[in-house]
Structure 1
Amino acid sequence: MIYPIVVYGDPVLRQKAKDIEKGTDMKQLIADMYETMDAANGIGLAAPQIGKSIRLFVVDATALEKEDEEDEDMSDFKMAFINAQILDEDGEEWEFEEGCLSIPNLREGVFRQETVRIRYYDEQWNLKEETYDGMKARIIQHEYDHIEGKLFIDYLSPFKKRLLKGKLADITKGKVNAEYRIAIPK
């Protein structure tokens, strides 16, 4: 099932998501989230982005192509994170232009630390603790922010936010062309 993507202005995007009871069958919802993310050409999707304030996000960067030898191999980076907790962020902050399915057609440079250590449950409720760096860390940090009620625009300067105020207001009103189904705030 493909869900509409909740866009900027909906209160669910600003709520801290609730833990999921351990052992809950998440297989269908996770499959639906992958399908929704794929339909929108995304590489990550958090449950709040489909209107569900629960601590779940999925990532799939397997389709990202390596442009040169220095690029990270993302061929195995498809996974679900249930009840994730970031334990540590470390390393140099680096800037990268981020976008978000919940804020269509808007991309801005965001600084994030290069390494993240995270504890989470996988789809089978196996507890994992892993460290990621580079682009994998950035994708995780971006999606994790969603379950904490944060958006990438929260990292922008007050000046930059003022410049984007009109575009954000238009998104809230549904005055945006997205190439996927969206849910406009009521």
Structure 2
Amino acid sequence: MAIKFIVKDPDSILREKAMTVTKFNANLHKLLNDMAETMYDAEGVGLAAPQIGISKRVIVVDVGDESGLIEMVNPEIIEKEGEQLGPEGCLSIPDLNGDVRRAQRIKLRGFDRNGAAFEMEATDFLARAFQHEVDHLNGVLFTDIADSIYDAAVRARKHEE
């Protein structure tokens, strides 16, 4: 496993639609392992392959709950329900945060590292994290859809006061 460099906005790969994964092999397993290690090292809750410069439809998510690490290859959101508005940040846009409107509950379909298809549901923060990462696979950043954007350091200082 290896910690990878996280690509920062405005790198063009963050604006591209990532390519569908067709080979489920040792290279994919290494990519997933590297992505998880990179996400944990950066103290993030999700990471998409384009964020480490690789145009593949691969995400990892771990919001720190009982779900643990979730890997998903070629993820698709197939259902959305409800609405939530909440803060988001991004490892590829380290100085900004924003308030983003997302679905409260989603259903996803994708594949595990070995090519087995699966579906899962997510709500609340986990649903937010998945929607954020799937957006990355489509070249969308949270700053494109946020209701408001603010300097992360300024907001943190205000909360400390």
Instruction: Identify the TM-score tier after normalising by the shorter chain.
Output: 0.7 to 0.9
Give TM-score, length-normalised by structure 1. Answer: 0.75
- Return the offset for 1:153: 0.7
Paired residues, number:
149
- Return the offset for 1:24: 3.3
CA distance in 1 between partners of 2:146 and 2:119 (Å): 30
Gaps of 5+ in 1: 63-73, 168-186
Matched, 1:15 2:20: no
Q: Percent identity?
A: 39
Cα deviation per residue 1:147-178 (whole Å; 9 max; x = unaligned)? 01101011135xx56xx7xx8xxxxxxxxxxx
CA distance in 2 between partners of 1:149 and 1:24 (Å): 25
Cα deviation per residue 1:76-126 (whole Å; 9 max; x = unaligned)? 2311110111112111x2111100000002111111110111100012211
Give TM-score, length-normalised by structure 2. Answer: 0.87
Of 37, 40, 52 in structure 2, the residue corresponding to residue 50 of structure 1 is 52
Q: Determine which structure has more spread, i.e. the larger CA radius of gyration.
A: 1
Which residue matches 2:118?
128
Which residue matches 1:3?
4
Which residue matches 2:89?
99
**Root-mean-square deviation over aligned CA pairs:** 1.5
The 5-angstrom pairing of residues 72-151 of structure 1 reads 74-91=65-82, 93-151=83-141
Gaps of 5+ in 2: 152-161
What is the identity, as a one-letter code, of the residue corresponding to 1:102?
S
Q: Which runs of 4+ in 1 moved over 6 A?
A: none
Cα gap change, 1:131 to 1:76, in 2 (>3 Å): closer
